[in-house]
Amino acid sequence: MTTLLANSRRVQFSGKQKEIAASAHFRLMVLLLVFLAIFTIIIGRLISFGILEDAPPTRGVSSIFVPARGDIVDRNGVPLARTMQAYAIRVVPERVLGDKNTLANQLAEIFPDTTAAAFLAKLEGSRPTYLRRRALPHEVKQVHALGEIGIEFPREDERLYPQRDLAAHVLGYVNADGDGVMGMERALNDRLKDESKRGSPVALSIDSRVQAALESELMVAMTSLEARGAAGIILDVHSGEVMALASLPVFDPNKIRKETISNQTNEVTQSVFELGSTFKPLTIAAALDAGTVTDLAVRYNASEPIRVGRYSIKDDHSQGRYLNVPEALVHSSNIVTARIADNLGREGMENMIRRLGFDERPHIELAERGKPLWPQSWGRVTNMTIAYGHGIAVTPLHLASAYAALVNGGIWRPATLAKVKPGEEAKGRRVFKAATSARMRQLLRMIVTDGTGRKADAPGFRIGGKTGSAEKPSNGGYNKTSLVSTFAAAFPMDNPRYVIIAMLDEPKGNAESAYQRTAGWTAAPIVRKVVPRVGPMLGVVPDEHRDVDVSELTPLLWKPKE
């Protein structure tokens, strides 16, 4: 009996165990099914996001790092303009609780460049306004410490120019709405704001090292010679790339102020000048091309002025004798150049001028481009004076592009501020014969070794070029006390790579220039100082064992017997 009872209890206990196990198994299966369903839903949603909605999976994350406006860098990747989140300081006048006079004085102590009166006017205004559009963190901390609840510190997109005023006329700046106002900021505005492109910086042709060297030497010359302004450009003769472009005085695009508005004029691309004797090589090249000059040894009468009606053309430094073409360039003879232009005729001169683009605004991406001043009446006298750079006004960029064609084999190409990949240069157009270009390289080199451009010579760099000193127009005539002094050059002349233009507006002269204001004493030395600084950066190494072969032309230069 006892044994039967024990067996019965074991059977009951075993049955309960099975029921508990079955119940636990059921719960586990339900839980697994729930997890499986959740997992299936998640996978389905991920698939629908990735495939059905065709949305890039990284878009939401990557957009955080894309600037509101694209960066601008130089040809080597050095940042020139970029957008970042910066602090601003803003006041809501009606919420200001403290004494406004006291607050204005406190703000003036933090920001010494703004008066307390200016701050007080904003604090007493009728609507919210900025106390500072751009403030440094330590300045924000100081203002915050004042404890005024009416002052806010919003974070806003700010366009910064880390190199400050370097290449300011190339870059330009943006307005309060973030749109480009001038320079490449304006020219590239749509590209820099394009959401699909602004993540990649735009590379300019400018080399910031070369730009800094050019600006530095121009500034030294402008200051020492007390000139009103200065301008310069370095241009790749084969691609048309602008390696440096400087216009002085400069402005800081980080701080646009009323007193520096006049400095925003781009003297290289916007202002037009009569560039004087720098035109003479162009006239000689046109005559060689046309065949009106076939023998460089032929001499022209330069012993007395040319008289045409009531006009007289004379030389500033008369040699008092007949001169051949090399001598005319070396001594910068207006008389001989005018005679050659007279033989060439209006059609030949005008054809050359138009082929070089002197009848239209300069070719470059900038909106700031000046329109040349074309002669109203192109008669015989005008034809003669244009030959030596009077009677027509163009920009220094016009001249740079023309000299590039003069020395590169005769091909004119538009200038560009965009970095050009090898093999993607603009096709250009032929404006001079290759043989004429080769001859002009010899003549330009002789001007520097034996003529008015001696002070531009830098050992080993084989510089060739031409001086130009032009009186500025005034009251229907010319002001003899106001000169535009220009030196147009290329280097190295045995295999030209770059053109360089240096110009000074109304230099006064000093002891270093022997108190002379002409280009040979003022502008040429700038080139001599710039080229050795920038040459190695541009891949031009000085070599005093190489030079242009001018042996066939040297005998044509008359030299007094010692």
Sequential DSSP letters for 42-53: HHHHHHIIIIIS
Q: How far apart are the first and last CA of the chain?
A: 156
Strand partners, 300: 323
- Cα–Cα distance measured from residue 242 to residue 404, given in angstroms and rounded to the nearest whole number: 12
- Cα–Cα distance measured from residue 150 to residue 136, given in angstroms and rounded to the nearest whole number: 19
Look up 513 and say whether it is catalytic: no
The answer to whether residues 468 and 488 touch, using CB atoms and an 8 Å cutoff, is yes
The torsion angles phi and psi of 224, rounded to 5 degrees, stand at: -70, -30
Q: For tokens 């330590």, what's the residue?
A: 138
Phi-psi region of 147 (alpha: psi -120 to 50; beta: other; left: phi over 0): left
SS3 annotation, 445-485: HHHHHHCCCHHHCCCCCCCEEEEEEEEEEECCEEEEEEEEE
Task: Name the percent of the chain in helix, strand, coil, to the closest 5.
Answer: 40, 20, 40
The torsion angles phi and psi of 248, rounded to 5 degrees, stand at: -120, 145
Phi-psi region of 183 (alpha: psi -120 to 50; beta: other; left: phi over 0): left
Can you give the C-alpha Rg of the chain in angstroms? 36
- Cβ neighbour number for residue 65 with a 10 Å cutoff: 7
- Cα–Cα distance measured from residue 542 to residue 539, given in angstroms and rounded to the nearest whole number: 10
Among 205, 208, 239, 277, the active-site one is 277
Question: Looking at this protein, which amino acid is placed at residue 124?
Answer: E
- Cα–Cα distance measured from residue 99 to residue 484, given in angstroms and rounded to the nearest whole number: 57
- Cβ neighbour number for residue 542 with a 10 Å cutoff: 15
- Residues with a catalytic annotation lie at 277
